Amino acid sequence: MTASLDEIAYKMCADGKGLLAADESSSTIKKRFDAIGVESTFENRRDYREMLFRSDEAMRNYISGVILYDETIRQNAKDGTPLVKLIEAAGSIPGIKVDLGAKPQAGAPGETITEGLDGLGERFKEYYELGARFAKWRAVIDIGTHIPSYTSILANAQALARYAALAQAANIVPIVEPEVLMDGDHDIDRCYEVTEWVLKEVFQQLFYARIRLEGMVLKPNMVVPGKKSPKQVSVEEVAEKTIRCLKNCVPSAVPGIAFLSGGQSDEEATAHLDAMVRIGGYPWPMTFSYGRALQAAPQKAWSGKAENVAAGQAAFTHRARMNSLAALGQWSVEIEQKKAA
C-alpha cells in the first residue's frame, strides 16, 4: 500500500507538472460564471470542465493531477464519457476535495474550523471506486488584530491530521492544505510568523496521527503581505521568505510542495513560483496547485459559447505552460508576453 501512495505523491509533483484545482464548490463557480455572464447550470459546469480536461496539450504536458468537486467526479462528458476517464486518458491523476468548507469556530470569534470528518472514511471508499487517487482538505487561517489564536490553529491542524490518516487508510494520497489568507493589512513578516506557527503545528499533529510523510503532498500559501498592506514587497523577497519559512518547518521526507495561488494574479503566482525555484537549496520539488490562477483566462475566453472552446483551451494551455516553466525555473516576462504565438 505505501509504495503506491508514495508513487502517486511523487507523480503529482513531477518535474514541470502541477495540479489543476477544479474543485470549486457550486457557490464559488457561480460567482466565477456570474463574472463572465454565464448561468451556472449543471450542463454549463460540465461543458466548461470538459473543455479543460480535453485540452490535450495542457493536460498531457503540464498537468499531473486534477482536484475535482463531488459533482464533477460523478459527471459524464457530453458524449457520455466519465470526466474522470478524460483525465486518466491524458495521463493525469484524478483527485477529490473532501472537506465541507470552513465554518465559524465556537469559542474562537472571527475564526473558522473546516468541517467534513464525519463519515469521511466511507466517503473515501466511494471516491476511490469513482477513480480518485488523491484528496484535498483546506484549513483556513486568517490574520487580524487578535487572531489567529492557538485554539483555532490547533483545531485545524488536528482536523488536517485526522483527514490525512483517513485518506492514507483508504490508499488515497492526502493533500494537506493549511492556508494563511492574504486578506488584511498585515505585512510580510506577520505572514511569515503565522505561517511558521501553522506549519509547525500541522506537522506536529501529522506526526501524532502517524501520517506517512512520503505519501502526502503539502499545499501551503506563499509568504506574502496582506492585500491591503501599505508595505508591498518584491517578487524576490516573497521567494526568499517563503523558502526560509518552509525550510524551517517542512520535513525533507515530504515528496513535494504544490503552492496555492491564494488570490494572487495569474502572473504574480507564476513569477513567485519561478523565483523560488531559481533560488534552489531546498529538498522537495516545488510546483503549483492553482485554481483561479489557471482558470481565469480560459473562463473569460470561453464565456459559455461553444464556438469559443478552442480559444478557452488555448488560454488554459498558455497558463499551464507558463506555470510549468516556472516550476522548472525557466519562466520570464518575455516568454509570458509571447502568448499569442
For 224-227, the CB contacts below 8 A with 24+ separation are: 224/182, 224/188, 224/191, 224/262, 224/264, 224/272, 225/182, 225/186, 225/187, 225/188, 225/191, 226/143, 226/182, 226/183, 226/184, 226/185, 226/186, 226/187, 226/190, 226/191, 227/182, 227/183, 227/184, 227/263
Strand 112-114 to strand 102-104: parallel, antiparallel, or no bridges (unpaired)?
antiparallel
Round to whole Å and give the CA distance between 195 and 259: 13
Cell numbers placing 109: 470569534
Mean pLDDT of the chain: 96
Does the domain made of 2-336 have the CATH classification 3.40.50.1980? no
pLDDT of residue 262: 86
Flag whether pLDDT at 305 surpasses 90: yes
pLDDT digit string, tens, across residues 23-59: 998 889 999 999 999 999 999 999 999 999 999 999 9
Query: Cα–Cα distance between 331 and 322 in angstroms, integer?
Result: 6
pLDDT at 243 over 70: yes
Residue that has been written with the C-alpha cell 502517486 in this structure: 8
Q: What is the pLDDT of residues 53-103, one digit of tens each?
A: 999 999 999 999 999 999 999 999 999 999 999 999 999 999 999 999 999
Q: What angle do CA 251, 254, 259 make, to 5 degrees?
A: 105
Count of beta carbons in the 10 Å neighbourhood of residue 102: 18
Percent of residues, the chain, with pLDDT higher than 70:
98
pLDDT tens profile 181-210: 999 999 999 999 999 999 999 999 999 999
Catalytic (active-site) positions: 177, 219
The pLDDT tens digits for 121-174 are 999 999 999 999 999 999 999 999 999 999 999 999 999 999 999 999 999 999
pLDDT-based confidence at 339, cuts 50/70/90? low
The yes-or-no verdict on residue 3 having pLDDT over 90 is no
136 phi and psi angles, rounded to 5 deg? -140, 140
**Residue 263: pLDDT above 90?**
no
Confidence of residue 340 (pLDDT cuts 50, 70, 90): very low
Neighbour-count burial of 38, counting CB atoms closer than 10 A to its CB (0-12 exposed, 13-18 middle, 19+ buried)? buried
Asked if pLDDT for residue 14 goes beyond 70, the answer is yes
Q: Provide, rounded to the nearest whole percent, the portion of the chain with pLDDT above 90.
A: 95
C-alpha cell at 195: 505561517
At residue 19, what are phi and psi to the nearest 5 degrees? Answer: -105, 140
Per the CB < 8 A criterion, the answer to whether 240 and 272 are in contact is no
Q: What is the pLDDT at residue 338? A: 79
CB atoms near residue 308 (< 10 Å): 17
In the chain, what are the domain boundaries?
2-336
- The CA distance from 149 to 113, in Å, is 12
